[in-house]
Structure 1
């Protein structure tokens, strides 16, 4: 029933979303965006309990197919261009308790069934709606009384207005800049009427779409592509930038776009990609970052795209720097943040191979007050996803620790995270089985050709396996991870320095041997 209903809703509004394929609720890691499902047990099929189509460009009437989602608890159709009357069936859906229809162009009377106790109904921004107890005619009659009342008190109102004017003109009025936002892209993307998200701030970093076209030379050079759209090279005031353009069919959506802007406008760390600005002009959305010329870590492990394969020492330094970026998100900013999508393709390298964590569209903040987790819809990349978070929906900093552990295993092994051709398809299973043999050489990336300190390699491997422990409470914090990795790096650097000294000494001995042959012997 849920599948048929959501397909009918999709057809009614002409929605086209990349991940709206197959069953909307299963498997859990491929659940469609914009909705939540109930997962009771294996014998009970999952049902859709929440549908959020806010700011989705919907037009026409409220789809009748919604009433077939019989277990729906939350419905958000806000900030669209819906017309027509509010249907009676919404009030007859007994499980439906949160309804957000604000920011549309609905008309007529509000059904009496929707005014029952317990329903949280949001209808702001629909000027042609009126309560079921009234009517347009009654409303018109009431407005006729206004001129009469106004005429009776006109003298006193004029006097009061004159006094107020004289008082206010003596005070210096502050200049207030009002930023008008396009109707299709509201300042606040409401998902819960009681807890609206913070608005995008700081207009000084906002670019127009024409400026984006100019800085990219009409999108001439594409340097990357993902589920969000494409990334183009550009320049701003002579500085290179990367312009991430959000496509209309993107799975990321306006909510994630705004979340990334809000986060990057208030966090600053040398190991996080810096936001130069953004464009939010109707349907044209773009994020403008500092340009990171050396690509991502994944490319430098595999050597694909003409990238060089980095040695063990550089890999450890990259791991330390990425860990420092995560540590800052967890404990260095207020409120603390969870990245939620840590992976090798989201660790970028500058011209000096300095690591910078990128892509904050899925990041979430924690409420201030000591909460160790938040409950949220599961999101992330398969293979990197914390299994405990996947099963419970409880997101915490240890979810990032798990994902970072997977990254560390990739750095060590250069094995794919998921490989269906392996007996042990997931990288944690493969490493676990190889550990039983006790031979580090079989686990380490063969591209390193044995050029690494075995002590640092074992220590990094043990750290990675502790990060991917199925139980989050047993995983280390990112602060502990940073300390361990720094010690691994010190061990590897000591080995390299010793190796250089030995090479230097060997060269000196060779030089002395040749020199001694040139000295005349006594006769």
Structure 2
């Protein structure tokens, strides 16, 4: 109830009573600061509960989706790997089957080879090496062949025989000898090659009566052909091959004196990205072995590069390189070539048989390439790609050669076992010519 006073003399005072409803009375009796709380409290609690539930759902989804995606990716990856493996196995089997069919197609009947060689007649024998004997033969159509016959006492065995079949069957290049077929009977293991009438390089190069037919242009063409063949083996073929027994007697010459690399019985197959191999059984011919291979058993494509360098210097000089021991004062070919280069007299290395009939620039280039190939550290030796480019006349700046490895200074035959320097179980070398093919005079 409120009282109001009226102004004026005649005014009277009145009392006015306001009577609110029951609900309004309760509302007016609550302090203003708390008036909204009862109404808002239930709404706030409801929203909080809703937001909490939504947060939990969101968190669950944040965890579930990545987990499910990861599981799905893992499953898909597993399926992909499974399919890829099955496909790779299928491809490998197809390739293996194709290669096996190809190898099978090369198989000769033993009686056919026996008839071609007149029962391996003595007068058809061309040579003999670590593999065994080599015979000349003539097939039914008149095609001449060279037959390598695995000896029971051969330095090389069945493993080398199978290696040569597979490798040569896969390799096709004009500077590699061509395999025509093979025979693997219970008692005989034979390889049938194209017959090359001019025999091997060493039969010309180190024979005073024949070397006169090797003018400089022929020698340079032989060097270039060997380089192209090695480039194919190391870099251009579908499989990388390290020959491990490259030497002048394993370079065969066709009727036009074109060189063909032969004898892959000791070769090793490398993976695409493989750079080096190791062996405890050192095989090959001293005088052509790279020092890291002869001493430690490490071999690589640079081992073949070393052997190529030796052959180049042999072709230029007309002299055979021999393995040298200590205690003798004879000078090895490689060391003589290095000394003459250092003394600025490299032309004194040239075979006197050539006289003045040579291209000085080509000769100097070959000597420098030969010295670069025989450097002691394998990493310093050039790749065959660079060598072929230089021989083809491309403008390539050749570095200054570093010294070759000095094994010693005493001459021995390549077939000599170096038992006093290398333990016998770890070193094995065949005769001077593991396969020595030459035609009869």
Q: How big is the shift at 1:367?
A: 2.2
Q: How big is the shift at 1:209?
A: 1.9
Q: How big is the shift at 1:226?
A: 1.2
Secondary structure of the corresponding residue to residue 261 of structure 1: helix
Distance (Å, rounded) in 1 between the aligned partners of 2:168 and 2:303: 21
Change (3 A) 1:289 1:479: same
For residue 183 of structure 2, what is the aligned residue in structure 1? 279
For residue 214 of structure 1, what is the aligned residue in structure 2? 115
Q: How big is the shift at 1:419?
A: 7.0
2:367 equivalent to 1:461: yes
Distance (Å, rounded) in 2 between the aligned partners of 1:304 and 1:294: 16
Distance (Å, rounded) in 1 between the aligned partners of 2:181 and 2:322: 36
Question: Map of 1:294-305 to 2, 5 A cutoff?
Answer: 294-303=198-207
For residue 380 of structure 1, what is the aligned residue in structure 2? 284
2:128 equivalent to 1:225: yes
For residue 164 of structure 2, what is the aligned residue in structure 1? 260
Question: Map of 1:14-413 to 2, 5 A cutoff?
Answer: 202-220=103-121, 221-236=124-139, 237-303=141-207, 308-368=212-272, 370-377=273-280, 378-413=282-317
Q: CA RMSD in A?
A: 2.1
Distance (Å, rounded) in 2 between the aligned partners of 1:284 and 1:431: 45
For residue 350 of structure 2, what is the aligned residue in structure 1? 444
Change (3 A) 1:422 1:313: farther
Q: How big is the shift at 1:307?
A: 6.3
What TM-score does the superposition give when structure 2 sets the normalisation length? 0.62
Distance (Å, rounded) in 1 between the aligned partners of 2:244 and 2:175: 17
User: Which runs of 4 or more aligned residues in structure 1 lie more than 4 Å from their structure 2 counterparts after TM superposition?
Assistant: 198-201, 304-308, 419-422
For residue 470 of structure 1, what is the aligned residue in structure 2? 376
Question: Map of 1:402-441 to 2, 5 A cutoff?
Answer: 402-418=306-322, 423-441=329-347
Distance (Å, rounded) in 2 between the aligned partners of 1:317 and 1:483: 14
Q: Deviation digits for residues 469-515 of structure 1, max 9, x if unmatched?
A: 11011100011111122229xxxxxxxxxxxxxxxxxxxxxxxxxxx
Any unmatched runs of 5+ in structure 1? Answer: 1-197, 489-523
Distance (Å, rounded) in 1 between the aligned partners of 2:208 and 2:389: 31
Q: How big is the shift at 1:457?
A: 1.1
CA contact (8 A) 2:253 2:260 kept: yes
Secondary structure of the corresponding residue to residue 393 of structure 2: helix
CA contact (8 A) 1:413 1:444 kept: yes
CA contact (8 A) 2:346 2:367 kept: no
Distance (Å, rounded) in 1 between the aligned partners of 2:349 and 2:191: 39
Q: Number of paired residues? A: 290
Distance (Å, rounded) in 2 between the aligned partners of 1:481 and 1:200: 37
The structure, 1 or 2, with the larger RCO (C-alpha pairs under 8 Å, 6+ apart) is: 2
Secondary structure of the corresponding residue to residue 191 of structure 2: strand
Distance (Å, rounded) in 1 between the aligned partners of 2:156 and 2:375: 29
Q: How big is the shift at 1:441?
A: 3.5
CA contact (8 A) 2:337 2:346 kept: no
CA contact (8 A) 1:405 1:464 kept: yes
Change (3 A) 1:254 1:474: same
Q: How big is the shift at 1:223?
A: 1.4
Q: Deviation digits for residues 194-216 of structure 1, max 9, x if unmatched?
A: xxxx9896212111221211111
Change (3 A) 1:422 1:445: farther
What TM-score does the superposition give when structure 1 sets the normalisation length? 0.53
CA contact (8 A) 1:418 1:425 kept: no
Q: How big is the shift at 1:240?
A: 0.8
Change (3 A) 1:247 1:238: same
Instruction: Tell which structure's C-alpha radius of gyration is larger.
Output: 2
Q: How big is the shift at 1:238?
A: 1.9
Secondary structure of the corresponding residue to residue 196 of structure 2: coil
CA contact (8 A) 2:287 2:323 kept: no
CA contact (8 A) 1:303 1:309 kept: no
Whose helix proportion is higher, 1 or 2? 2
For residue 388 of structure 2, what is the aligned residue in structure 1? 482
Q: How big is the shift at 1:438?
A: 2.1
Change (3 A) 1:277 1:307: farther
Secondary structure of the corresponding residue to residue 287 of structure 1: strand
Q: How big is the shift at 1:422?
A: 7.5
